[in-house]
């Protein structure tokens, strides 16, 4: 097994992918348990077992020293939690990707489930212990993926280029970026990577598109992922000499923490939450408090989720019971007590995807009430997306101002960039300019792998 190879690693908000150079070209590795893309999810019996699980895996490969020194105060407690979970009948293995989501759906209440950990890395107010938890979650995910690569190819990459957005958060961006990069770097070290570099995700996608060009072009790269949107104006040339700094290609860029998850949340609030009582008037004549619904919908906001599941929200629910319509109260109560916010978010995401090809979608919410189903319409998706498309317009304006030019072509990449709502918006904004759609996820991974070859070969 080879331990000296390099890889490009797209640790995405929605999906993770890893690429190697094989047969002279960058290739996405088909992971035995996941395929080319693994959903960014983790399942564990409890949060406390993750550290012990990771320590055991590292120790089996004689690679535990760095992690053991960093977590000396917590490993024994975590190993104890892992033993206790096993005695209670839980599997000792963590689960990732679709397997994690399936296990969560079996019993959402009695587990620890994380979707899109990347969304939280730049969040304000994370304590040192919170940062350590995210380091462990990401290190466990990276360790799992390295093992999958080894199983598929016989290579165990130890040099990596990891993609990153321009900004992990909209507010306090420099501090947020430092925090997020620190978490990712430490996690990658724990997972056994000896050399770690980062590359802006839109630049990675741009390098992929550049390889297909026959002549120089100014390209506006529109990269809309699950949690972030990055816009870059790049001067692309198929004859670009990779010995020079890739930053020379960049004429302007900007980014913000908006993405596919935010479209899901907006659609959830617009179409699903009203069936749990949002926007209703209480029997006492007062409007329904909105915050409890926003906290429930914002699955990428750790403080919001914590508040929704708090005793304070429980008291509010009890206070509202006599003034709310009974079926609305029962659905909201079930959402909270069975910890189904991720399931409701998934329903919104499925609705968004379906409305790309249809004017309506029948959404089943029978996990909240037997037989409950509602119709969601394409026009509702457009209305829910207006705030986000305005933010996208602002980012584009900033990049055009920086670069002082218009693009020859638009290059769309990321899980949400090819949404019909986005494509129509861009067509109106850049009339007559060609749109080129990339592999929604693979273009970033391919570009990261190309850059890994350049700096590590």
Of 165, 180, 98, 141, nearest to 413 by C-alpha is 165
Alpha-carbon span 174 to 448, nearest angstrom: 23
Alpha-carbon span 395 to 392, nearest angstrom: 5
pLDDT along the chain (457 residues), means of 10: 77 92 90 95 94 95 93 93 88 92 84 89 87 96 95 92 84 83 97 94 83 88 85 82 60 84 92 96 93 93 88 94 95 95 93 89 96 94 88 93 94 82 89 83 88 88
State pTM to two decimals: 0.78
Q: What share of the chain is helix, strand, coil (3-state, %, to 5)?
A: 50, 20, 30
Helix H, strand E, coil C: the string for 84-96 is HHHHCCCCCCCEE
Look-up: residue for tokens 């040099």?
159
CA angle in degrees (0–180, nearest 5) for 48-53-59: 140
Alpha-carbon span 412 to 427, nearest angstrom: 12
Question: 72 is written with which tokens?
Answer: 């000396």
* Shared fold status for 6-193 and 215-258+386-438: yes
Q: Are 8 and 27 in contact (CB under 8 A)?
A: no
Q: Are 220 and 409 in contact (CB under 8 A)?
A: yes
* C-alpha Rg value of the chain to the nearest Å: 23
> What is residue 351's predicted lDDT score, i.e. its pLDDT?
94
Q: Are 32 and 18 in contact (CB under 8 A)?
A: no
Alpha-carbon span 5 to 210, nearest angstrom: 24
> What is residue 11's predicted lDDT score, i.e. its pLDDT?
94
Alpha-carbon span 418 to 356, nearest angstrom: 9
Q: Which residues contact 1 (CB under 8 A, 6 or more apart)?
A: 150, 154, 155, 156
φ, ψ dihedrals at 31, nearest 5°: -75, 135
Q: State the pairing for strand pair 217-224/229-236.
A: antiparallel
> What is residue 413's predicted lDDT score, i.e. its pLDDT?
86
Question: Of how many residues is the chain composed?
Answer: 457
Domain ranges across the chain: 6-193, 215-258+386-438, 261-378
Of 161, 141, 117, nearest to 33 by C-alpha is 141
The helix (run of H) or strand (run of E) holding residue 260 is: helix 260-267
- C-alpha distances (whole Å) from 229 to each of 60, 78, 99, 455 are 39, 36, 28, 26
Neighbour tally for 366: CB within 10 Å: 9
φ, ψ dihedrals at 172, nearest 5°: 45, 50
Architecture of domain 6-193: 2-Layer Sandwich (3.30)
Alpha-carbon span 167 to 164, nearest angstrom: 8
CATH ID of 215-258+386-438, from 3.10.20.600, 3.40.50.300, 3.30.420.40, 3.30.565.10: 3.30.420.40
The tally of CA atoms less than 13 A away on the side-chain side of residue 313 is 21
């Amino acid at each position: 097994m080879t331990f000296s190879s390099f890889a490009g690693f797209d640790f995405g908000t929605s999906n993770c992918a890893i690429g190697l150079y094989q047969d002279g070209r960058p290739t996405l590795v088909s992971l035995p348990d996941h395929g080319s893309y693994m959903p960014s999810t983790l399942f564990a019996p409890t949060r406390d077992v993750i550290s012990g699980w990771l320590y055991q895996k590292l120790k089996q490969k004689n690679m535990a020293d760095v992690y053991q020194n960093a977590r000396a105060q917590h490993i024994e407690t975590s190993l104890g939690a892992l033993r206790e979970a096993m005695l209670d009948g839980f599997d000792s293995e963590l689960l990732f990707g679709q397997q994690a989501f399936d296990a969560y759906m079996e019993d959402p209440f009695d587990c620890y489930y994380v979707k899109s950990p990347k969304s939280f890395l730049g969040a304000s107010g994370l304590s040192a212990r919170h940062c350590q938890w995210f380091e462990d979650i990401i290190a466990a995910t990276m360790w799992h993926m390295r093992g999958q690569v080894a199983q598929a190819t016989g290579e165990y990459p130890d040099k990596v280029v990891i993609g990153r957005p321009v900004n992990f958060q909209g507010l306090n961006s420099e501090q947020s970026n430092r925090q997020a990069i620190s978490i990712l770097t430490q996690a990658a070290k724990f997972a056994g990577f000896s050399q770690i570099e980062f590359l802006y995700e839109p630049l990675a996608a741009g390098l992929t598109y550049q390889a297909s060009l026959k002549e120089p072009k100014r390209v506006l790269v529109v990269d809309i992922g699950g949690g972030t949107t990055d816009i870059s104006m790049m001067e692309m040339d198929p004859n670009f000499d990779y010995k020079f700094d890739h930053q020379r290609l960049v004429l302007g860029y900007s980014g913000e923490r908006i993405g596919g998850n935010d479209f899901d949340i907006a659609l959830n609030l617009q179409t699903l939450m009203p069936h749990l009582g949002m926007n209703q008037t209480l029997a006492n004549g007062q409007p329904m408090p909105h915050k409890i619904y926003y906290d429930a919908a914002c699955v990428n906001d750790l403080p919001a989720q914590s508040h929704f599941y708090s005793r304070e929200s429980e008291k509010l629910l009890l206070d509202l019971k006599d003034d709310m319509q009974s079926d609305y109260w029962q659905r909201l109560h079930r959402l909270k007590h069975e910890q189904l916010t991720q399931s409701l978010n998934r329903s919104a995401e499925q609705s968004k995807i379906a409305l790309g090809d249809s004017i309506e979608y029948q959404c089943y919410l029978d996990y909240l009430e037997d037989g409950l189903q509602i119709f969601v319409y394409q026009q509702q998706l457009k209305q829910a997306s207006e705030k986000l498309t305005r933010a996208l317009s602002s980012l584009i304006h900033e990049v055009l101002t920086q670069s002082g030019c218009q693009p020859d072509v638009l290059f769309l990449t990321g899980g949400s960039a090819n949404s019909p709502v986005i494509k129509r918006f861009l067509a109106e904004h850049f009339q007559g300019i060609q749109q080129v759609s990339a592999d929604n996820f693979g273009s970033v991974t391919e570009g990261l792998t190309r850059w890994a070859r350049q700096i590590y070969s």
